Amino acid sequence: MELWIASSNTGKIKEFQNLLFDFPTVHVRTQNEISGFTTREENGDSFLANARIKAKSLRSIKNEAWVLADDSGLEVLGLGNLPGIHSARYAGPKARDSENIAKLLKMMKIRNVSDRTAQFKAALVAISPTGEEFTFEGLMKGLISTQVVGNHGFGYDPIFIPDGQNQTLAELGPGYKNQKSHRALAFKQFLDILKAQV
């Protein structure tokens, strides 16, 4: 069975592959394999809306297999839930993870944010070969650290400390993230649907 991922983010793709470890018959394919493919502009007003845009865009090309899209990001309470849906491009359209992190910490300092409460949100949209749509959401609560720590993961992982932990996601590593992350929690709901297909 083929599962096409509507993403070019290597970190996300690797996470999905890890989460499918117990499903060796599911072959992950990505939009990077389709020459000339570009997804439609992500102009939705929520993670779910943007995930749906990406899923339908890829589905228009790959309509004989499962298609899965994710949109996720970080919400910081003291910044009015920013960067939110703009997480990947918070410091600019082609910003690197380090630039997004630097801007976030700078904005928290400028605004003298004392409440460092934050949460990661993920929304997944899966479309079956028959065109049926499924949606899933996952949430991970935590705090923003005062410094960048850790070498694992991607995005804001080096500054996010999950509830109940004293290390960042980038310190805790992929084993923890594959069990507890917002994306993992949403994806496991999708796996319950997929189990009936393999």
* Domain extents in the chain: 2-194
Structure tokens at 104: 């976030």
Query: Do residues 31 and 5 touch, judged by C-beta distance below 8 A?
Result: yes
Rounded Cα gap, residues 179 and 86, in angstroms: 25
Rounded Cα gap, residues 196 and 198, in angstroms: 6
Rounded Cα gap, residues 152 and 50, in angstroms: 26
Note if 71 is an active site residue: yes
Rounded Cα gap, residues 70 and 48, in angstroms: 8
What is 2-194's CATH number?
3.90.950.10
Cβ neighbourhood burial of 55 (10 Å; 0-12, 13-18, 19+) = buried
Tens digits of per-residue pLDDT, 103-125? 999 999 999 999 999 999 999 99
The pLDDT value given to residue 162: 98
Rounded Cα gap, residues 77 and 75, in angstroms: 6
Ranges of beta strands (E only) in the chain are 2-5, 27-30, 66-76, 82-83, 117-127, 133-144, 160-162
Residues of the chain with pLDDT under 70: 198
The pLDDT value given to residue 149: 97
Query: Do residues 143 and 114 touch, judged by C-beta distance below 8 A?
Result: no
The pLDDT value given to residue 198: 63
Which residues is 76 bridged to in the sheet? 82, 118
Catalytic residue among 71, 97, 157, 163: 71
Structure tokens at 190: 């999708």
